[in-house]
Amino acid sequence: MDRTTAENDSNARIAVLVHGLFDSPLIFFRLAHRLKEAGWTAHAVRLRPNSARPGLDRLAQQLKIDVEQKIPADQRIDLIGFSMGGLVARYYLQRLGGLQRTRRLITISSPHLGSRTARFLPNTGGRQMRPGSAFLKDLNSDVHMLESLDPVSLWSPWDLVVRPPANAILPIGQSIKVGIPLHSLMILSRRSIDRVVEVLR
* CATH code (residue 39): 3.40.50.1820
- Domains contained in the chain, number: 1
Record the pTM.
Answer: 0.94
Domain limits at 23?
Answer: 3-200
Burial environment of residue 116 by CB neighbours within 10 A (0 to 12, 13 to 18, 19 or more): middle
**pLDDT 10s digits, 65-95:** 999 999 999 999 999 999 999 999 999 999 9
Residue type, 159: D
Q: Given a cut of 80, is residue 147 above it in pLDDT?
A: yes
DSSP string for residues in 86-133: HHHHHHHHHHSSGGGGEEEEEEES--TT--GGGGG--SHHHHHTSTT-
Determine contact, residues 176/153, Cβ cutoff 8 Å.
yes
pLDDT score of 11: 62
- Taking every pair of Cα atoms in the chain, the longest distance, rounded to a whole number of angstroms, is 47
Cis-peptide into 181, omega within 30 deg: no
**pLDDT 10s digits, 89-120:** 999 999 999 999 999 999 999 999 999 999 99
